[in-house]
Chains A and B, each alone.
Chain A
Amino acid sequence: MMFFISWRVMHREKQNKMSPFLSFVRKEFYHIFRDKTTTAILLALPVLMLMLFGYAITTEVKNSRVAVYDPSNDLFTRAVIEKLNASEYFTVVKMLKTSDEINEQFRKGEVKMVIAFSEKCYQNMLHTGTAQVALIVDGTDPNSSKAVVGYASAILAQQQQDMFQFTNIPFQVQPEIKLLYNPTMKGAYNFVPGVMGMILMLICAMMTSISIAKEKEMGTMEVLLVSPVKPSHIILAKTIPYFVLSLINLSTILLISVFILGVPVAGSLFWLLMLSLVYILVNLSLGLVISSVVDNQQTALLISGMVLMLPVIMLSGMMFPVENMPVFFQWISQVIPAKWYIIGVKKIMIKGLGFEAILPQLSVLLGMAILLIGVSIKKFRYRLE
């Protein structure tokens, strides 16, 4: 009977009283949602970044200004020029009279590309089976120039096929591609995995470390430490809201990339999510490690900005290919979680590869997560100094 009563009392108390931990988590959510500006930025950032990157990629190379040097002026070259003009990618702005004018055009910055045909193109094709066409491109912006070259080559190939499809002779137009200003241009990146890597890190590592640093700065950490609440619960409660927030962002990014940018998830969505979860875990614990060494928000921001963001942008392969870097930086890039994540995401999303393919990335990230969680537990200070 006594037992029953005490059970009833305990049960009732449980219903009335929120557990300290849940109360903590709720408090963290209040902090986030009441700071409307930050929340809006955090939620809109992936949309903004994807739109920015996406917009740049899809429209910048449209209507490129093209000059043509055409000494042949025959059936083939006229058809190519017509096709270029008709496509949405090019506008032929000038016909050049001499080959000397080509360089002048670039110096004036008036055109993105010059197409220079050899003499007697059509004749040569009929007789020798080959013809020379030079695509001279302003390589200042590597990504757009690569796209321009691609479009132009496609148009040349298309025209060649249209003209000679009924003949058996394998005629070949050989486009000779020459990039001005940036001859060693490297391949275009895919920005969706990059944006994913960056946003998740921003939310998890940066925001977590800042929110813990804030408690220290405001002096509330002192009170929380001298309370029955376990320090690990304080920390755990801090990470949960940002975990939720990063899941929201992850789904935003995927939805936008699939439905608006038309980048489908070629491989397994399940493994993509698993990879992302491990990556989120890595960054949350990274945020905790940072917060254990800083005492105020500004330092936390600075450290996560300098030590996390910059290498991610520069060294993760998101902007610049890792293979192109000096060996020293290649070594550094090995310890950047975002690099492994971005590679893994590309494999699943773009290449459509399965679990076996991302096994190395997944295990590296998992190892990093375990290591960082260990460090953050060990480094966590349950005193003030």
Chain B
Amino acid sequence: MISCSAIRKNYGKIPALNNISFEVQKGEIFGLIGPDGAGKTTFFRILTTLILADEGSATVNGYDVVRSYESVRKCVGYMPGRFSLYQDLTVAENLEFFATVFNTSIQENYDLIRDIYQQIEPFKHRRAGKLSGGMKQKLALSCALIHKPTVLFLDEPTTGVDPVSRKEFWGMLKRLQHQGITILVSTPYMDEAGLCDRIALIQRGSFLSIDTPAGIVAGFRKRLFSVHSQSMSQLLKDLRGLAFVESCYAFGDSHHITLKEQANTITSESIQLQLHQMGHQHVVVREIQAGIEDCFMELSNQ
């Protein structure tokens, strides 16, 4: 459905995308996972015909994004990261406008957006500029989904949305998928990666890995521990100073550490003991399974 080979794009001397090649199958939810500035938006813009790549070629739905850009535009839906609505139009007017622009009507595809739109429907006669941030995003999502495209490009659609709405949004994506829509979605949230069929980890314009979420996690071969103690910042410094620790990152309420390959004898008990000796209180150490974020950290280190 989407295929691209050896895409390269520079902004002046700074490379934004570096030799990107991959394919997305029909009906797949494909996630681009990476931090800000990784090149996600540039990539989206190339695929949606908005900018030209310096090298390489890409097709969407079989159409070349350069030569047949008009055909591409007819069959894709795109929600840019800084998608802004018309602030001076009401909620209903915004939705209706985007529906008519895409040759459809709210009634026709109402079932696609019902779950999210119902939450803002009580305010449908309010100007979009007067909505709260989360509501604006919900309206933007509704506007992006109101036309039922063949391929849907969503650039960070859930940034700035509350967790409940994010969950609902992913529910919507699944429903769209069942209707045969191919979806390419980018997100900085690692927890959303697990909801995609396949993901690509992207950093500094390069793909680190492309696989299913399970495949990426399975590719993580090192032993991983989660460590918690009373003074977390001191703990981070101390862990990084330990000889057998290869990497250590702060992960929310605990630190994740990977061990060097030769450190086979280390167990969670021995780490705990060592930390106690260094003066840490209430130390909890558990050996854990890697998540997507661990894989990302690991891959970006290589």
- A residues adjacent to B (C-beta < 8 A): 16-20, 23-24, 27, 30-31, 34-35, 218-220, 222-229, 382-385
Contact = CB atoms under 8 A, between A and B. Distances in A.
A113 to B, nearest CB: 55
Contact of B102 (A31, A228, A382): A228
A117 B80 CA distance: 82
A18 B98 CA distance: 12
B100 A17 contact: yes
A213 to B, nearest CB: 14
A224 B101 CA distance: 8
Given A23-B101, A24-B101, A384-B50, A226 B78 contact: yes
22 contacts: A17-B104, A20-B103, A31-B86, A31-B88, A219-B80, A219-B82, A220-B86, A223-B78, A223-B83, A224-B101, A225-B73, A226-B48, A226-B49, A226-B50, A226-B78, A227-B102, A228-B74, A228-B101, A228-B102, A383-B69, A384-B45, A385-B51
Contacts, number: 82
A219 B77 CA distance: 15
Given A20-B103, A227-B73, A222 B50 contact: yes
Interface in B37-68: 45, 48-52
Given A17-B100, A27-B86, A225 B50 contact: yes
A385 B9 CA distance: 13
Contacts of B98: 223
Given A20-B100, A23-B100, A35-B88, A219 B50 contact: no
Contacts of A223: 78-80, 83, 98, 144
Nearest to B105: A17
B289 interface: no
Contacts of B105: 16-17
Nearest to A27: B97
Given A225-B49, A225-B73, A227-B101, 15 more contacts: A18-B100, A20-B103, A23-B97, A220-B84, A222-B80, A223-B79, A223-B80, A223-B144, A224-B101, A226-B48, A226-B76, A226-B77, A227-B73, A382-B69, A383-B51
Nearest to B45: A384
Contact of A30 (B49, B80, B93, B103): B93
A43 B102 CA distance: 34
B89 A27 contact: yes
Contacts of A383: 49-52, 69
A30 B89 contact: yes
Interface of B: 45, 48-52, 69, 73-74, 76-80, 82-86, 88-89, 93, 96-98, 100-105, 144
A30 B73 CA distance: 26
> Which 5 residue pairs are nearest across A and B when measured between Cβ atoms?
A23-B100, A226-B78, A34-B88, A384-B50, A219-B82
Contacts of B93: 27, 30
A225 B82 CA distance: 15
Contacts of B83: 219, 222-223
Contacts of A382: 69
Contacts of B96: 23
B52 to A, nearest CB: 7
Nearest to A220: B84
Contacts of B97: 23-24, 27
B101 A20 contact: yes
Nearest to A214: B86
A180 B98 CA distance: 67
A29 to B, nearest CB: 11
A385 B50 CA distance: 8
Nearest to B48: A226
Given A228-B73, A384-B51, A385-B51, A218 B101 contact: no
A224 B100 CA distance: 12
A58 B9 CA distance: 66
Nearest to B155: A222
A30 B127 CA distance: 12
Given A30-B93, A229-B101, A218 B73 contact: no
B84 A219 contact: yes
A227 B153 CA distance: 12
